[in-house]
């Protein structure tokens, strides 16, 4: 690993396909001068952790339960542990990629405009954990994905990149999810490049490219 590369930490809870897409973009030079310095999961069983190890990425599991008491940690307790852990790394960007924990406002304040999240809908429509189900049930004809800066509210911060896909007759949650996922992988790379470039400013909710 080179000391000059921008360090990206990816937080996951599941299969990690967005993490892999980011890693592939770095390897292919689509995200230049960057590296994934850590893949962290709150769930030891997350398949993405094994996949990251196979790619020789540094991995870590930060359990959601206290190792001493077995009790579920409060949000702020978990986030303090996470901040301590990240404090031992240089972090330029934190990418939430299927990380199924809500981060506290306190944590978000530690990393202003340095946390990205991806959500599988065109925000502000269809927030929440089952966006594809909700899109289909609503009868929407267009869906997609959103990469946004993380603020103190869930699925809310300034939009960095959105990609749309059609919702087709006969779509199931799974068929729609796989069409959206292809776009997620493209969108995350674009968003990371925009944010790492530093060539933008945020006014209210709106992110502008500097001229
Ligand atoms: C993606 O659909 C992402 O939008 C959502 O969780 C899913 C994670 O998928 N936040 P993966 O673990 O990156 O494959």
Tell me the pLDDT tens digit for each residue of 151-200: 999 999 999 999 999 999 999 999 999 999 999 999 999 999 999 999 98
pLDDT digits (tens, 9 = 90+) for 123-142: 999 999 999 999 999 999 99
Residues 82-118, buried b or exposed e (16+ Cβ, 10 A)?
beeebeeeebbbbbbbbbebebbeebbebbebbbbbb
Residue 1 has pLDDT above 60, yes or no: no
Copy the structure tokens of residue 59.
């991995």
Q: Does the beta carbon of 144 sit less than 6 angstroms from any atom of ligand 1? A: no
pTM equals: 0.95
Q: Could you tell which of 98, 122, 174 is best to mutate to test the pocket of ligand 1, judged by most ligand atoms within 8 Å of the CB?
A: 98
Give the residue among 77, 83, 60, 72 at the shortest CA–CA distance from 10: 60
Which residues carry out catalysis?
Answer: 119
Backbone angles phi, psi at 7, to 5 degrees: -100, 125
pLDDT digits (tens, 9 = 90+) for 28-68: 999 999 999 999 999 999 999 999 999 999 999 999 988 88
Q: How far is the CA of 88 from the centre of ligand 1 (A)?
A: 27
Distance CA 69, CA 90 (A): 31
Distance CA 110, CA 80 (A): 10
Residue with tokens 């502008």: 208
- Looking at residue 130, its pLDDT comes to 97
- Looking at residue 211, its pLDDT comes to 65
Q: Does the beta carbon of 15 sit less than 6 angstroms from any atom of ligand 1? A: yes
Q: How large is the C-alpha radius of gyration of the chain?
A: 17
Which atom of ligand 1 is found nearest the CA of 117? 10
CA angle at 46 for the pair 146 and 182, rounded to the nearest 5° = 35
- Looking at residue 192, its pLDDT comes to 98
Q: Does the beta carbon of 17 sit less than 6 angstroms from any atom of ligand 1? A: yes
- Nearest residue (by CA) to ligand 1, atom 9, is 98
Distance CA 189, CA 53 (A): 21
Distances (CA, A) of 57 to 36, 64, 146, 177: 7, 22, 26, 27
- Nearest residue (by CA) to ligand 1, atom 2, is 120
């Amino acid at each position: 690993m080179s000391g000059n590369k921008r360090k990206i930490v990816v937080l996951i809870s599941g299969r990690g396909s967005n993490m892999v897409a980011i890693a592939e973009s770095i390897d292919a030079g689509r995200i230049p001068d960057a590296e994934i310095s850590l893949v962290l999961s709150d769930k030891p069983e997350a398949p993405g952790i094994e996949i990251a190890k196979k790619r020789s990425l540094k991995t870590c599991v930060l359990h959601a339960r206290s190792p001493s008491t077995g009790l579920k940690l409060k949000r702020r307790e978990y986030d303090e542990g996470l901040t301590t852990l990240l404090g031992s790394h240089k972090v330029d960007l934190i990418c939430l990629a299927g990380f199924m924990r809500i981060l506290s406002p306190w944590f978000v304040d530690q990393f202003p405009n340095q946390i990205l999240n991806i959500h599988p809908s065109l925000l502000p429509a269809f927030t929440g954990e089952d966006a594809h189900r909700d899109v289909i049930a609503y009868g929407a004809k267009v869906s997609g994905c959103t990469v946004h800066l993380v603020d103190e509210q869930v699925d809310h911060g300034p939009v960095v990149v959105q990609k749309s896909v059609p919702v087709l007759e006969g779509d199931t949650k799974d068929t729609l999810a796989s069409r959206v996922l292809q776009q997620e992988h493209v969108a995350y790379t674009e968003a990371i490049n925009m944010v790492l470039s530093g060539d933008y400013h945020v006014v209210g909710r709106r992110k502008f490219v500097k001229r």
